[in-house]
């Protein structure tokens, strides 16, 4: 399953399980460890756990195992890491507190041309 297919698959499961305020952040240019964050809110601990379990189970069945799952038992913030797609399922309180959308919006993409030029200047010395 390609990255965009996995992304759509995760989104469809989240929508089916009535995740609230679903957002996708395309952060390829800002981040080296993933391409997308999928951020959503669950309405209760049970709801958060149900969404997380279903995403994990269905993705495994589709041949895409997460490399890591964190926070499943607490049900306040569950993170499911598929490499190119990282899923965050929050309680309303934790989502507001961590505010990932705003943090990632403020991070500027690295200027790779500038970094390469600086690196080349250093190497020439």
Kind and range of the H or E run holding 21: strand 20-26
**CA distance readout (Å), 58 to 14, 47, 78, 93, 121:** 11, 16, 16, 27, 50
Show me where the domains of the chain are located: 3-124
Q: Which of 116 and 10 is assigned the larger pLDDT? A: 10
What's the half-sphere exposure (Cβ side, CA atoms, 13 Å) at 14? 24
pLDDT digits (tens, 9 = 90+) for 59-117: 999 999 999 999 988 889 999 999 999 999 999 999 999 999 887 776 654 455 544 44
Q: Whole-prediction pTM value?
A: 0.81
Domain over 3-124 is classified CATH 3.30.460.10: yes
């Amino acid at each position: 399953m390609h990255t965009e297919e996995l992304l759509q698959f995760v989104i469809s499961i989240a929508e089916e399980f009535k995740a609230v305020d679903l957002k996708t952040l395309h952060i390829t240019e800002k981040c080296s460890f993933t391409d997308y964050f999928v951020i959503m809110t669950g309405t209760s601990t049970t709801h958060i756990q149900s969404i997380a379990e279903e995403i994990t189970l269905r993705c495994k069945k589709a041949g895409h195992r997460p490399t890591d799952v964190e926070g499943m038992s607490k049900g306040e913030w569950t993170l499911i890491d598929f490499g190119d797609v990282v899923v965050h399922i929050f309680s309303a309180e934790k989502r507001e507190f961590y505010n990932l959308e705003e943090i990632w919006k403020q991070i500027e993409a690295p200027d790779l041309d500038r970094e390469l030029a600086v690196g080349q200047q250093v190497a020439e010395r």
